[in-house]
Amino acid sequence: MIEPVHREEGSILKNFIVAGFAGLTMLVAACGAAAAPTAAPADGSWTTAYADTSCSDWSAKMTAPQRTVAASAMLSAIWKTGGSDKAPTEATVKYLSDGIDAVCPASPTDKITFAASTLAGMAVELKP
């Protein structure tokens, strides 16, 4: 489980926020630029673009399998944007999914792409 880190140094927090917004910009392009399909796919996957999916949707509307697929797709996109062609392991995807589970209740209107890119920028466990 990802625990919040409290630091006294304002520059670390500022850099973290700037990195999170930069990651979000790249992730929006990778995960959600296209319109969501109008019909639910046969595999039951989430039909809303991740960039348009709120933390409230994540917590209340998405099923566990949909959250797993979303976490995997977002982490893959983050890594690809960073230059890695590695695929995330199940454990890494679960770590991201658990992290989003932990942060979303406090920010229900935030987009899951923001949560994912912010967590990926913070946690060494989410590096390729």
55-73 burial code (b ≥16 CB/10 A, e <16): bebbeeebeeebbbbbbbb
Closest CA to 64 of 45, 78, 38: 45
Return the pLDDT at 43.
Answer: 63
Return the pLDDT at 35.
Answer: 31
Q: What is the mean pLDDT of each run of 10 residues along the chain (128 residues)?
A: 45 41 43 36 77 96 94 94 93 97 95 95 93
Return the pLDDT at 88.
Answer: 95
Return the pLDDT at 45.
Answer: 81
Domain residue spans of the chain:
49-128
User: Which residues have C-beta within 8 Å of that of residue 47, sequence separation ≥ 6?
Assistant: 36, 37, 38, 39, 40, 41
